[in-house]
Amino acid sequence: MSISFSGFLSCVPFVLTARSGENASPFPILMRGRHGIGKSSLVYQIAKNLGWNPKTEEIVYGDYAGGYDVVERRASQMTEGDLLGMPAREPIMVNGRKATAFNPPEWLIQACTEPVVLFFDEIDRAVLEVRQGLFELCDSRKIAGHVLHPGTVIFAAMNGGVHRGASSYQVADLDPAEQDRYTVYDVDPTAEDWLTWANDKVHPMVWAFINSNHKHLEHVGDYEPGKTYPSRRSWERFSNVASSGKMLKGGKADPVVYNIAASFLGMEAAVSFNDFVKNFKDQVSPADVLDNGEIDRTDDFTLTQHCALIEQMEQDEYFKSDLNSDQLGNMADYMMSITSEACMKLWALIAAHDTANPQNLHGTTGTNGTLVATFMADLLTAQYDSKKS
């Protein structure tokens, strides 16, 4: 069974802070999932919420914790020497005889002397000898006599597993004993997971497109050899290129946009995105509507575009604090200009937060002279005939 990113993040604090006995150490976590979904980014996100209490020798979790450094190694590119280190130039004496000593690699010294997130990516593409070394590291928290710091946590990631699409990857299977060393999660993030993460990280037009076209976020199913498919990673990369080149301007179908989109996302997604750009009016932000009162800019919006704008209001956290009087007036006018479906979606998001907005909005009168409370009552009793219904 797969788990979303939000579900995974709700489990992680319990796994990493559990103590099963005296001097207990955190359990290693293995994420299995498709490529390009953000497994690595998730590890770095978790690391920001980790901390170590040296007095109690316990791991703490929360945005107050201070954060851990991430020591990342690509297991698929490691050899035995990357685990054990290199022989020291000077031998050591053991019972009167010379012996070889090994200088451990810097990542191992760091993980043994301070609390860090030790992250091994692509472990199912690693050679067997490296996997055997990681076996000991996850099981006994030591390798070649070097013991991990009690606050160091281990994460691993791989593309294989039992999730959808796993059979498309040329990777090795972990044997039962190897897998048993980890707490295993098959991560399958939802479109909402990506939209939440991408809100301030991709171009607004890319965000709006995915918000309205979840099916183009990533490919699900078998892969045709040599064909380019969209992924969460490729959308971010395309957005970075398009944003730096200032190519995304609503209403202009620049051929360069299609060609670049096709190279990152494949033909189907590129065609749909290019059409979206052509038919997209100048970007309307929540601030344009709520702060500036530019309601008329949404007059030609479709239901999909209104829903995208409303979700952007939620992402921009307009509903998490009390709206001022101007914003309430603009919100009232906007509510009375949209379809009943969009209006109910908007009201549900407003009411979901513990603020004074629902009560204050009920008492607000729009520029058409209608009280929001009266408008909502008529809407709920199907007496209000919206101009766009």
Instruction: Give the pLDDT confidence of 130-185 residue by residue, as tens digits.
Output: 999 999 899 889 998 899 999 999 999 999 877 766 777 888 888 899 899 999 99
Q: Determine contact, residues 117/70, Cβ cutoff 8 Å.
A: yes
Phi-psi category of residue 336: left, alpha or beta, with phi > 0 → left and psi -120 to 50 → alpha: alpha
Give the pLDDT of residue 251. 53
Structural domain spans, the chain: 2-187, 191-278, 286-380
Give the pLDDT of residue 249. 65
Regions of the chain short of the pLDDT cut 70? 19-24, 164-165, 245, 249-253, 280-283, 382-389
The widest CA-to-CA distance across the chain, in whole angstroms, is 99
Distance of CA 248 to the CA centre of its chain: 23
Q: Which of 259, 319, 317, 329 is nearest to 291 (CA)?
A: 329
Strand-pair category, 146-147 with 102-103: unpaired
Q: Which residue has the tokens 């076996």?
A: 135
Residues 96, 109: Cα–Cα separation, whole Å: 28
CATH code of 2-187, in short, is 3.40.50.300
Give the pLDDT of residue 250. 54
Identify the bridge partners of residue 146 per DSSP, sorted by sequence position: 143
| 255-265 vs 267-278: helix crossing angle, rounded to 10 | 150
pTM of the model: 0.70
Give the pLDDT of residue 42. 93
Give the list of residues 6+ apart from residue 353 with CB closer than 8 angstroms, or none: 319, 320
Instruction: Give the pLDDT confidence of 219-235 residue by residue, as tens digits.
Output: 887 788 899 999 999 99
Distance of CA 189 to the CA centre of its chain: 8
